Chain A
């Protein structure tokens, strides 16, 4: 089984409830949900971007699909969206980029997501880029 080859960090994030930034009442996703709830469009978007990062090689259709499926098992879609946005915007230009760079809560989200994605990449034989 693929899951058994996942690194400990990813296993942990699958087993443990996800830390939410906003209390559950404010959000639609219940705490710790392992809903595997990514919409198809969210998965396709991830795969296209991931393929792009790897020069569009066709083998990455399969490898990147594997990665997003792993991430979807680790995180509810809402959390994935917020955490991946936190990581992406670490380099946002200007004063307002500080919102992403300074805030500990956002930096935490970014580093947690980075870790989950790295684990999934490793499990799916996708080199880190």
Chain B
């Protein structure tokens, strides 16, 4: 054995020993610390969507130009974004949930994976066949398919390693969320709040997919995984135990079994506290008269111990929802000054139009303020009880079924939906894509049938009246004071996730298909029209010394279909999900990832 190979062995053996010692932890958190990678959908465990890269700055962003494009071959809404680890990009598509491993060097496809899924899952997806992207850990790629199958693939080959089903589409259960890798676990949720699904979060072993714990949003204490004496909630201006049967007491009879509280959003994890944070969605049905009570724990922020699933604290934002204000939006963990005092905070921009700042250690409510001034369904959040003060004329419960409650702001889309905001530790501010839309809402009586929509409401949406006429804003928010710093009006709602960078640039996409770069004052520096509307999240990475910005475009109605479909195919490609020619190595038609960089000097 030569000296060199002995040294190699020495290093290798040490690595093995170190690997064994920390076998419990995945490499994901470490990979996110290198800004060249984009190793989680949100960039890091805290949901920051922030990058330390600063080759692209507020001075030169105006020069950004197209570096390359990649088409997924699928013609539906494209949410989420790519992962980048080292020299490889991993990209997903909406149903049928294809996965591509792409070499950054020449954009050739290293491998492609396409699961076989029953298309009958499509009609039970309430809100298009979206998927919010992949996760990576320890040489594995994790995909949460529409039909609720969670699958682990070998990141080198694309071979299936394990599969586990977390729900049943026949009952209206589907999945759209990204899997989240926290420490040694993969955490996933469920969609189907419009189908009377009973929401829950499950934790799986990274190596086998085995379910380690499963925590429901509604039901008896043992299924909620709560301790009536130790799980705390904000009560009369302080934290107090939730008590026994905290959920059961707030439903009529067995309604909790169809209770909703689905979990399709963006979770976060604090390694020091070993706590996972996520929100739950609307209670079923949308007709509030059919489900009297607070409907706990729908519309709730949960803080759970990652290892056991035990809830440390809960906070219900919208007790007895009457407007479909799901509480699933991203939970952003930030260490900021709140009202002058440094706090380990959790910041959450809820669909209900209030931005919440919580103490993420204790669960105390610190700030709850409207982040769009048109929000009118509640006057304010009472800081003692933590409850929103509902305005009677906008109460669809008080007005009752078959009465059209008019002029409610925000609409059921929320002041913001899942499209994640960005937090810049450099500025201490949050950059938030929003809806500026109001609605008329008319609930009606509905019977539950498994696998059928359990909505029970018709609604009509429109741009917020007496404002700028547009349907969206992109805002900067100070979560320490609960005040808006600036607001940039947009013609349409902003449904793209934001990105902020150390180069003092903030990026977001629009429904017209523009990718926009703004400076820290919200001034537009640059925009580029991509082939379709943007509902994906902006991502950045570095490869061979160059910083790139990437974003998926593609919503239902198709712009640039001519380009995407190729001129040889005739019109048959229009709307046909699978009807395309497989071009093996390079581009396919459909949703497009557009990648930008600064031009060579």
- Residues on A facing B (Cβ under 8 Å): 20-23, 26, 28, 39, 41-42, 45, 47-53, 55-56, 81-82, 84-85, 88-100, 102-106
Contact = CB atoms under 8 A, between A and B. Distances in A.
Contact of A85 (B489, B492, B563): B492
Contacts of B562: 45, 47-53
A94 B126 contact: yes
A95 B412 CA distance: 9
Contacts of B561: 49, 52
Given A21-B491, A22-B468, A53-B562, A103 B463 contact: yes
A56 B567 contact: yes
Contacts of B461: 98-99, 102-103
B470 A41 contact: no
Given A52-B562, A82-B512, A94-B127, A89 B571 contact: no
Contacts of A51: 562, 567
Contacts of A98: 459-461
Interface stretch (B18-26, B141-149, B388-396, B550-558): B550-558
Interface of B: 76-77, 125-129, 412-413, 417, 437, 459-463, 468-471, 489, 491-493, 495, 511-514, 524, 529, 531, 533, 555-563, 565, 567-571
Contacts of B126: 94-95
Given A41-B529, A45-B531, A85-B511, A105 B413 contact: no
A56 B570 contact: yes
Contact of A105 (B127, B469, B524, B559): B469
A79 to B, nearest CB: 10
Given A45-B531, A93-B556, A103-B471, A56 B568 contact: yes
Given A90-B557, A96-B127, A85 B533 contact: yes
A21 B529 CA distance: 19
Given A21-B491, A22-B468, A102-B461, A48 B557 contact: no
A82 to B, nearest CB: 5
Contacts of A103: 437, 461-463, 471
A81 B557 contact: no
A96 B493 CA distance: 10
B260 to A, nearest CB: 15
A99 B556 contact: no
| Interface SS of B by simple majority | loop
Given A93-B76, A102-B460, A26 B489 contact: yes
B559 A88 contact: yes
Contacts of B559: 45, 49, 84-85, 88
20 contacts: A20-B469, A22-B489, A22-B491, A26-B468, A45-B559, A45-B563, A49-B560, A49-B561, A52-B561, A85-B492, A85-B512, A92-B555, A92-B557, A94-B127, A94-B556, A99-B471, A99-B492, A102-B461, A103-B463, A105-B469
Contact of B127 (A48, A84, A95): A95
A84 B531 CA distance: 12
Given A85-B512, A98-B460, A48 B563 contact: yes
A81 B513 contact: yes
A99 B417 CA distance: 13
A128 to B, nearest CB: 14
B571 A52 contact: yes
A20 B468 CA distance: 11
Contacts of B569: 52
Contacts of B511: 85, 89
Nearest to A50: B562
Contacts of B513: 81, 85
B224 to A, nearest CB: 28
A82 B568 contact: no
A17 B412 CA distance: 34
A92 B556 contact: yes
Given A82-B512, A98-B459, A21 B470 contact: yes
Contacts of B565: 52
B128 A94 contact: yes
Given A41-B529, A51-B567, A23 B492 contact: no
Nearest to A56: B567
Contacts of B568: 56
A19 to B, nearest CB: 10
Which of B412, B461, B493: most chain A Cβ within 10 A? B461
Nearest to A20: B469
Contacts of A106: 471
A84 B76 CA distance: 18
A52 B125 CA distance: 30
Contacts of B567: 48, 51-52, 56
Contacts of B556: 89, 91-94, 97
A22 B127 CA distance: 28
Nearest to A85: B512
A36 B463 CA distance: 29
